[in-house]
Structure 1
Amino acid sequence: MRSVAARRYNRSVLWLSGAYVVLLLGISILFKRNLLGGPIAYPAALLPALPIIGIFAAIGRFIAEETDEYQRMLLIRQTLVATGFALTVATVWGFLESFDLIGHADGYYVAVLWFGGLGLGSCVNRWWERRA
């Protein structure tokens, strides 16, 4: 059975993910049709980032509210793996890019890497548990 914190986290992430899709699609359409410009374009372009930031906050809240110490430790390990993975790839990419060895990557891909790193962290947790 999932804890109250886990259920709240799942609900938040589902809602925020839906908001992200709606905002990203809507804003993308408005920009492609040249319906956004001038000063309003800046806050509009930032709108899809808000649900992603919300997911980061939901993860932090989940860690803070989880009462099962073992489950909290697993989540913390998972987020540490994700952070290390995303920062490592971003650092390597940045050096390769600075020496003109590869093309530019948009900064928001670091969040994509981090979310992928959560999956990697989950695999690390499973591997660690099997070792024990």
Structure 2
Amino acid sequence: MSSCVARNAAQRRYNRDVLWLSAAYALLLLAVTYLFRHAAITGVPAVMLAVLPALPIIGVFAAIARYLIEERDEYLRMLTVRQTLVASGFALSIATIWGFLESFGVAGHVDAYFVAVLWFAGLGLGTCVNRVIEARA
């Protein structure tokens, strides 16, 4: 979402959801990392535990979708759509380039979850793009 200040119910709900999902992510990541380092976890329990930190990140994606559905201001919705398109293009472009570099032995392996990290960084880039475009108008 392009604005830090919540002005309406959809923005307040989005901000609240992202805050608690971010906290859940941090807690789950710490707990799961601790468990994998200090316990011999294998099989189905290992898979289930390994997936846990991904769930809040998926929740953030859902929170953005919910915000886009609930936002009644078409201008604010358009800014958020543009921001998410920039983020998607950025993350997918970097992941594609890195994939080819890795395939041809020019770069080392990077874990796939970094695509989400790139996407979140792309949201910041999308905010900058929005500001540049809006400053021109």
TM-score, normalised with respect to structure 2? 0.94
Match for 1:19 among 21, 24, 28?
A: 24
Match for 2:133 among 120, 128, 132?
A: 128
1:4-83 map, 5 Å: 4-83=9-88
Q: CA–CA distance in 1 between the matches of 2:113 and 2:45?
A: 20
1:81-120 map, 5 Å: 81-120=86-125
Match for 1:3 among 2, 8, 22?
A: 8
Q: Classify the secondary structure of the residue corresponding to 2:120.
A: helix
RMSD over equivalenced CA pairs, Å: 0.8
Unmatched 5+ stretches in structure 1: none
Q: CA–CA distance in 2 between the matches of 1:38 and 1:125?
A: 46
Q: CA–CA distance in 2 between the matches of 1:118 and 1:93?
A: 20
Give % identity.
64
Q: How many residues align?
A: 132
Unmatched 5+ stretches in structure 2: 1-5
